[in-house]
Structure 1
Amino acid sequence: MLDLYAHFAALEVLRVRLKREFVSGSLTAASAVETLKAVESTYPFAVLGSVVDHLIAHAGPSTAEVDRLQKAHALSVDVRAFLNDLRDVRSAIENVARNPKAANALADYNAARAALADLYLRYDPLVARLQAFVWQLHPLRHLTQHPVSTDQPTGAWPWRDLFLSRRTGAFVAEVMKLARASGRPEAIAFAFGVGASYVGNIFGSSYLTHGVGGPRRSHVYRDRLASYSVGAWFRHGRLAEGADFDPIRRVPVFGSPQNPALPPWLTALLKKAFSNVYASGDLPAVLPDVDAAYVQLLEHWRLLHSFPPLAPAEPIDDTLDLAIVNTLTPQDKDPDEPTTPRDGPEPEPDGPERLFDPGPGSPPWFMEKHEDWLDYVKEACLDLLFLPIFLIRVGFWLGHDASENEPPKSGGLASRASKLSTPLTQSEFDAVMGGKDILIAVVWLHHLDAGLHHFATACLKVLKVVGLIYPEREDLLEPTYRQFVVLPPASLGVQWPSLPPADPALFLQPPAGSLEAPATVPSTLGPGHKPIAFLMTGFGGSASVMSEGFDLLLDELRDLPSSPLRSSNLNLDADRGHLAACWTPAAGTSVTDNPQSPVVLSYGDV
């Protein structure tokens, strides 16, 4: 299913199309006009409706994911605090080095040494917590596979999967009917958003599965990576057609920020819709708790946006840098161990305009080179091996005895912290400032700053590649994410749908295993197309949310019995290709059979 940002974009496009039809005089039905007025006057409710699938997803299997994110966020806060405190120490030391004759120079220097000693004592416990968190990730279990993949009966399914795979059109039609009957503008706006969610998933999931190589039930982590990559594309890109209003691109908060809650009328509407649509068949024992789900959805949204990029290490001050160049030897200032830290961002392999240009061209498409997601963990672990060396060397040059000529190759951080905690006398301080030790310390503090930044960035990348947080704009240029926002060229011979890989840890690579039969066409899009193609007409696709998607909702907006939502249910995971209907394996067969025997469900079947 689509992520939140792609849903917001689909809602924007459908609202613009609805207004265009009204302004042109093509759409005059009273119910459609009422819908437009309701959406424009109570837009936050339409926004919530547009992510109704995510609301329902939080009534069950998202608990493990939110728990992982909460723990990751707590660690992130402490890592950032550690880095910021180190940067405060570095700034203080550099200020003293620039002006050692200042009245407060000795006091500032001793305070910086004491602060660094505190960091030494905080380092090992922080690393232990990071290592424990990584072990919790392995093996990956924070995303739950669709239960159909193991032939579980629908009564054992979480509501998320039941909602995406059974009676999908019927639910939208029911919500719209109940909203019209209520006469509330907020309810009508919410219902339009639910329709936008339906349409967005139908066309967007086709795009996702095209890039993934198969459906979510077979490739749960590739599907998440694709969903978040496409969402990041919409988050940072611009729609080619501007909106004449300020769109909301966040989950709206109802109630007080400290105690958010769905309006009681909306809770009642959703419960009635679920009761009416899922009234018979093998179903979960209780209806989804939408009130608790809403609170968790808001918490998930908060967590997703609580991992901002880290600023790289600042360069050494020009005055100090000149003194370093004129005073120190290469052995004084360069690490002699193999290290991963480096200054500044990696050079971009291609300009972002190539990625965000909404045209239908075919920019380069890169195959993933990493073997599996643990390679990213190993990269971060390299920093854990070498950062203590940086710490010890900094501590040596800021707190060594005259008898010590070289930093120790062994020894714990605690012993170095003890020396740093002892204040220097004025004569000892003058001796340090009179030699080159302070300049060497400045250099190694910069190495340490850059190393910590690289380590923290590597940890964030781990969260991105396992689908816990969104990639940033610059990340989308990397093969890991680019493979999902630029559909592969025909020359690669990618076929669809691929069976699950033998090793699920290899989800960063395009699937190279056997195909699921019967083969299907994943989408109407061609090689090189970007996410804008499924959203808007004129960017290479033959079907889009703006055109066919709007037409799919049109009769329902007019409240006509001919509405396709009242006669067919389309699978919102695009499980068997573009415009695939809800289905089940034939009696006596399994979803793991190859070839499969899919049977389209009747409108009322669960």
Structure 2
Amino acid sequence: MIDARTHAAALAEHREGLAAAQVDPALRPALDELLAEVADHPADAALGSLLDHLLQHAQSDGLELDLLAEAAAMWTEGVDLYTEVGAVRADIEAALADPAHPDAAAQYCGATVRLRKLGERVHGKHLEIQDLGRRLAEMRHVPEHPRQGDLPLDAWGWGDVFLARRTDAFVRAAFAAAQTPAARATAFGVLSGHAANAAGSAYLGKVVGGPRRSHRFRDRIARNTVGCYLAQLRPEAGDFRRLAATLRYGAAPGAGLPDEAAAFLTEVLERTYDPGATPPPPDLRLGYGRLVRQLELLGTFRQPPRPKLPAPVFVRRLWADPANPPVPVVTTETATPPAVADSGLGPATYSGPAVPPYQRPPSATDSTRDSDNQCGSFWLGVLGFIAFVGTLGGVCWEQWGNGTSCTFWDKHVSDNFRHAFESSLSPEEQAALASQYQPLTPEEFARGADLPQLTQLVGLLFDFQARLWEGLRKAGGYLAGCGVAAPDGRLRYPLYRQFLAVPSSGDNITPHRPEADPVAVFYRYPPTPLEEPSDGGGGLPVGTDPGWLLRESTAAVTALWTGIAEGASGEANPDLDADRFRRYDCWAAGGSVDDDPVDVRVLDYDET
């Protein structure tokens, strides 16, 4: 199973490939008409290509969507805080740069009050972050495949049934049932999704070390990585919100699945599967609503631009070497490597691996999930700093004006904020500071604007915003490492880079058995024994990159559509999870998948 952005990239590629294909001239009018219908009905085509995701959502427990919604809400709050701190910084710097201006004192005081009030928005946030991080780290949002649990087919979810039973027949049933331009566009999307899953899952099996059922956590990270890669090659397919908007059929955000689309898909399901062997019918409208919502939420996680340096006048005061000013604090886990100015993909071609060879294998620290980076302590530090700034129009100003040091500043701001990950104010201290605020007069502000402590404040505010930026970057890394968000901007990190080229021949024999503790070790290629009968790795050369799946699936789309148009009967019946590798037919285990070797029984074409 591939991710939504891979489906979107493949759909665009398949339309172009089929338009340029050399087909029988007698078929050209029908092909041109179909492609025109796809262009006129983009929502239907996208719906068909993402049918596997819709069906997965239709019978899921909704846990992943709930976690994603929580994470998106926290992310939005963090970005809003970051943006507001930037605006406060701008006002404070403007006031201090021209203290004689009649409005400077009011501008400064208003900015500090706004910053202090932000404390109400982050109060208790560390507890929410810790709780969400704990639940994400459990990885319960990526459930076990029912095949791996030896469950009967009628106990499977519809997404898994769709990928593993009568896959070719479903495509043909879709074209046979399509009587309107919109329905034919949906059928083309189903064809596109079929070919993309078959090729994409074959590629994933090689870089993961086995199929989705055996290595579900590792497969989740890999499929998101491949989608991120292909979104760089085809930017029009990489915008989650744009994809969600396409699925909305151009209607208002609250619009649901159109009746015509639901009726068409229901008819195709009924034509394809034996109801006595499958689960109860899926709730297509529920699945559709969840799918669109997931895509909208995934579009939330956009890293804001780095904070701007203070104005040159403050840079000259703050740093001895203004030609080499500081940059936001970033870590090796969260920073984009400074030498990489592009997207991390290299040339937008399919000519080979798009990333350099491994400099080292991924380790446990590369999962980005082994530490919460003391986020709770950081948010307490944020609260403390906001409270400090609220006093700068009051007690500190008075003490500085008398030539004495400010106890609160010296005790907490200049020292403790620089260790915000380690310390914080007590609620009593915050309340005491907040009660001492009083406005400054323009005369007081003009006399004291050159105080070194206020220049230090400018530097601290810059550092504060930089830490917020870093916190967002860490949060994005954590979400990507848990498989709920895309690893945008991280493709060169070892955790993700390993999935962008088929490994050496020694690591190319699949499938490997599941890990005993997959949550702890999914970052590495599985060292477990092979699940026999195994595959020797033929068909995908070492170094093959994800662009292969676009080429491979485009050829498959052309061949399959041509066969359908010519009236040829179905023959191939590929498992769309490529569960036994490339082009392996739909199958069932004669016993348990834990047997050695597994009793692999290839299903008849008509068998559900």
- Specify the alignment match of 2:531 in structure 1: 516
Distance 1:393 1:496, change over 3 A: farther
- Specify the alignment match of 2:511 in structure 1: 497
Residue 517 of structure 1 aligns to a residue whose secondary structure is strand
| TM-score (norm. length: structure 1) | 0.86
Residue 353 of structure 2 contacts residue 501 of structure 2 at CA under 8 Å; is this kept in 1?
no
Residue 588 of structure 2 aligns to a residue whose secondary structure is strand
Alignment of 1:187-586 (within 5 A): 187-238=183-234, 251-254=246-249, 256-284=251-279, 286-325=280-319, 345-348=336-339, 352-354=344-346, 356-360=348-352, 363-365=356-358, 366-371=360-365, 372-378=367-373, 380=375, 383-384=378-379, 387=382, 401=396, 402=399, 403-405=405-407, 406-408=410-412, 411-412=425-426, 414-415=430-431, 417-418=433-434, 421-426=437-442, 428-430=444-446, 432-472=448-488, 474-490=489-505, 493-505=507-519, 506-521=521-536, 524-536=539-551, 544-560=552-568, 562-564=569-571, 568-586=572-590
Distance 1:418 1:360, change over 3 A: same
Residue 297 of structure 2 aligns to a residue whose secondary structure is helix
Q: Please identify, of 49-58 and 414-423, the stretch whose mean Cα deviation from structure 2 is larger.
A: 414-423
- Specify the alignment match of 1:539 in structure 2: none
The Cα shift of 1:147 comes to 0.9
The Cα shift of 1:528 comes to 1.7
Residue 399 of structure 1 contacts residue 419 of structure 1 at CA under 8 Å; is this kept in 2?
no
| TM-score (norm. length: structure 2) | 0.86
Residue 489 of structure 1 contacts residue 528 of structure 1 at CA under 8 Å; is this kept in 2?
yes
Instruction: Count matched residues.
Output: 574
Distance 1:389 1:280, change over 3 A: closer
- Specify the alignment match of 1:8 in structure 2: 8
The Cα shift of 1:114 comes to 1.2
Distance 1:361 1:269, change over 3 A: closer
Residue 256 of structure 1 aligns to a residue whose secondary structure is coil
Q: Distance in 2 between matches of 1:88 and 1:353?
A: 34
Q: Distance in 2 between matches of 1:319 and 1:62?
A: 56
Query: 2:192 is matched by which residue type in structure 1?
Result: A
Deviations 1:309-367 (A, max 9, x none): 12111111112211334799xxxx999xx996999854146863537442125831352
Residue 522 of structure 1 contacts residue 576 of structure 1 at CA under 8 Å; is this kept in 2?
no
- Specify the alignment match of 1:541 in structure 2: none
Q: Distance in 2 between matches of 1:343 and 1:144?
A: 28
The Cα shift of 1:109 comes to 1.5
Distance 1:198 1:379, change over 3 A: farther
Distance 1:2 1:27, change over 3 A: farther
Residue 387 of structure 1 contacts residue 451 of structure 1 at CA under 8 Å; is this kept in 2?
no
The Cα shift of 1:198 comes to 0.7
Q: Please identify, of 315-324 and 200-209, the stretch whose mean Cα deviation from structure 2 is larger.
A: 315-324
Matched residues, percent identical? 28
Distance 1:470 1:340, change over 3 A: closer
Q: Please identify, of 143-152 and 339-348, the stretch whose mean Cα deviation from structure 2 is larger.
A: 339-348
Residue 73 of structure 1 aligns to a residue whose secondary structure is helix
Distance 1:359 1:418, change over 3 A: same
Q: Distance in 1 between matches of 2:333 and 2:74?
A: 23
Q: Distance in 2 between matches of 1:156 and 1:58?
A: 16
Residue 485 of structure 1 contacts residue 530 of structure 1 at CA under 8 Å; is this kept in 2?
yes
Unaligned runs of 5+ in 1: 537-543
Residue 397 of structure 1 contacts residue 440 of structure 1 at CA under 8 Å; is this kept in 2?
no
The Cα shift of 1:384 comes to 4.7
Q: Please identify, of 55-64 and 396-405, the stretch whose mean Cα deviation from structure 2 is larger.
A: 396-405
Query: 2:498 is matched by which residue type in structure 1?
Result: Q
The Cα shift of 1:31 comes to 5.2
Residue 196 of structure 2 contacts residue 553 of structure 2 at CA under 8 Å; is this kept in 1?
yes
- Specify the alignment match of 2:420 in structure 1: none
Distance 1:74 1:420, change over 3 A: farther
The Cα shift of 1:138 comes to 3.4
- Specify the alignment match of 1:540 in structure 2: none
Q: Distance in 2 between matches of 1:578 and 1:344?
A: 37
